Amino acid sequence: MCAVDTNVLVRLIVRDDATQLEAVRRLQLRCACHGQKLFVSTTVLLELEWVLRSRYRLGKPEVLAALRQLMTSGNVAFEREAAVLNALAGYEFSGAELADSIHAEMAAVNDRSPLHTFDRNASSLAGVELLR
């Protein structure tokens, strides 16, 4: 697979630099010609959500839409994709941050649940326990 950094995905989502967007499209084509997809690691996903929210001021619905669009594009693969899908659902329907939802899902897929936290919002997620 063709692993990509956060800034590559930002160009693909935000489309604020035509030259860089064209470079991303060429990379996608090159990868597709070799039967590969762009690979997004969990750490890149976490940074991507943070950049979209903090730098580009996207709200939760816009961030979720952008991430889901990437996931359904057919040419992007995510590390632990099923866990990421579950984490997006947890993020959407709770007051928790995406990072907390991903942490909880990663604990679950590694048979290490519950995730213990002092964060009350995170403790609203399935598989998360508030530490007192």
> Could you give the count of Cα atoms lying within 13 Å of 30 in the half-sphere of its Cβ?
9
Annotated binding-site ranges for Mg(2+): 5, 100
Does residue 33 come out as left (phi exceeding 0), alpha (psi in the -120 to 50 range) or beta?
alpha
Residue in the block written with tokens 């009350």: 120
Tell me how far apart the alpha carbons of residues 34 and 15 are, in angstroms, rounded to a whole number: 25
Give the whole-angstrom CA distance, residue 64 versus residue 37.
21
Annotated binding site: 5, 100
